[in-house]
Amino acid sequence: MATKTLVVIGAVAAGTSAAAKAKRTNPNLDVILLERDRHISYGACGLPYLIAGLIPGTDALIARTPAEFGERGVEVRTEHEVLEIDTANTALRVADLAAAQEYSLRYDDLVIATGAVCSTGSMFSKAPDIAMIFLLFAAMGFVGLFTSLFFHK
C-alpha cells in the first residue's frame, strides 16, 4: 500500500502538536511540516519575559528543533511558505524562501495551523489618554521579534 502524506502548514503550537500526534498514531505516515519562519516550536508566551530580560535568549523559548522532529520521523521545512492550496489536485504551491524557488507538493491530508492575528478595531478610539499600544508578536526569523507601534496622539 502506498504511503500517505500528511502536510502540516505552520509549525508553532498547533502545527507541531498535530504533526507529532499524527506520527505517533501512524508511524507509517509521511509527515511534512512547512513553516515560513526560521524557527519552530517555540513558546510565544515567553516573549514578554525575554523582553524584560528575565530569560537569557530566544533558545530558552524553543521546545523542539527541526532536527529533533527529524529524529522522530517528521520532516520539517523551515522558510517554506505555502502560497496556494489546490484542493482539486490535492497539491500546494510552496515557496522555498531561502532558495527563491517555488515547487508543488502533493498531500493526502492537510492540517492548516497558520495561527491568527489580533485585531484591535476601533477599541481604542475613545481612549486618547493611551499614548501608544504595543502589539507583540513573533515574526520572520524570530530573532527579529518586533513590536508594532500604534500612536494615538
Ligand X SMILES: Cc1cc2nc3c(=O)[nH]c(=O)nc-3n(C[C@H](O)[C@H](O)[C@H](O)COP(=O)(O)OP(=O)(O)OC[C@H]3O[C@@H](n4cnc5c(N)ncnc54)[C@H](O)[C@@H]3O)c2cc1C
Give the catalytic positions in this structure: 45
The residue number with the shortest CB distance to ligand X is 115
Q: Which residues of 71-88 are buried (b: 16+ CB within 10 A; e: fewer)?
A: eeebebbbbbbbeeeeee
Q: How far is the CB of 134 from ligand X (least distance, A)?
A: 10
For residue 135, give the DSSP letter: E
Count of residues near ligand X by CB under 6 A: 21
Q: How far apart are CA 116 and CA 44, in angstroms?
A: 13
Q: State whether residue 70 is helix, strand or coil.
A: helix
Could you say which of 7, 8, 15, 76 contacts ligand X (CB under 6 A)?
15
* Set of cell numbers at residue 130: 493611551
Spell out the residues 6+ positions from residue 139 whose beta carbon is closer than 8 angstroms to its own. 37, 145, 146
Could you say which of 81, 85, 105, 110 contacts ligand X (CB under 6 A)?
81
Binding window for ligand X (CB under 6 A); candidates: 28-36, 57-65, 98-106, 121-129: 28-36
Binding mask 105-134 for ligand X (x = CB under 6 A): --------xxx-------------------
Binding site for ligand X (CB under 6 A): 9-10, 12-15, 34-37, 44-45, 47-48, 81-82, 113-115, 136-137
